[in-house]
A and B are shown apart, each in its own frame.
Chain A
């Protein structure tokens, strides 16, 4: 009997990683180790059990301080690189080092997909920043757009894989993040569409099409995901809905904190808009709670996901207000913060913005000629950002004034 048990166990012990898996794991570990270097060993006298601790001599002390200095300066370079834009000296560090390292340390499938979604979002933010500075040229836009699509598609592939492995909650979580980001950027890009010079304008429009495409994919996925939850047994759907609620509540709290930190630079009316948006997200959560109490778990799941999306959108709109220096005038910059994000089907391509420069120049024909370099340039824009049906796309009702400081 003992022999038989041993034989069976030795059979089971044959399970192993493939050579490829093992070398991929080794590489991942090696990159991670480079990121987390050894600090000076603590002990000196005792014989080390695993040979890691070494006698602490002046020589090794010097060596450690040199490597520490190298690491610290590498760390400050990579920190400085975080704000870099395409064309900047440090941009390759941001994309090729910082982001790759983070991709390597994202171990779980959810973390990997989230990071891809985040990278897609970063590319859009870069394009927007370049556009507001009049630096978005065709070749840059094409490169950014290719990267954006690449990351968005990888995020979507990751989401689909999470769904396939029955991790519906994780899939919904990443998708809500991605979709919320895409929708916010769609609005921001639409706002920038008629801005500054013609070349940028063309580039921004081209980018908008790509964002549209990916947003649609995210919306389609959400539809399937929600249908799947609705079809689940009630206890499972309830657990899934409760999981989504947790994620939504956390996201709202995160964005409130973000808003609090940026209140000063954002200005009162944009702050009020963002707060209103977050209150709406809270209301959506309350609505979801009511559905949950009523046993309508599928509907509750969809509402909590919506709240999470609303919060993510609010966050990116706050950031755009901040970084792109889009400031509100009397009445506030209405980035259509009241639009029903659930009206997804009506929404595609219909968010319109009209900018009218001082002097009544027609939209889209802004003239660069009178801009002195270095002069603070203010363009009064008439913003009409609406979500509606395609027919009255160019209608002007509900327009509010906003000022674009460049």
Chain B
């Protein structure tokens, strides 16, 4: 019995620690970004352009860049992942499905920088020649490569959900003479709604937090992007680019605003999707 309490306390401690770390980071950023709030600059920052030589330190272009890259990468990754996990857990024969799953598991372990590297040498020239507009370093390139990065995780979560469907449901569908595709559409997908949401949440977080892909492939221009072939900068890449500047400069202070926006945005997005997910489940 003694042992169980020790283990329980240990786990509780770990949980409290990680939760409080998240809160502490928020407090830390609020604290360091406080001068911006006090001056009332914070809202201005969110709507103005970035041009330090002329005294503009806004992060609006980066906000637009982040949102468009994340949204577009989800557009590529979500259908792809849904299809791939349906193939693995329902449609494909066991041997092939196992092979696919192992491949996907392997893909999750590939460091982001490798994707970035491949993107610079293969995808960017391809996009440049294909569309003959700009340098190829663009929202499109970054979002395509980012979808490669987030897909494996999404596929694995979806597959796990699809496979956790109660055996009785599956047996009932089989007994009614449903084809695998009918079973997928009418039984597995509705049942897996929560898992699909969970996968989506994690992927949005991952896509928003990713720095290297955008830094290497999106071009990092500070203009507000007008098309998906334009060069754009994400909030994360912006932080990475500015953090080496003089610590006393206004540039440096404004990256706390960028960090804060990223934090609040990711957190509220996750909350929002959670709420939608919960009400969605209730309606059923």
The answer to whether A binds B is no
Q: A interface vs B, CB < 8 Å?
A: none
Q: B interface vs A, CB < 8 Å?
A: none
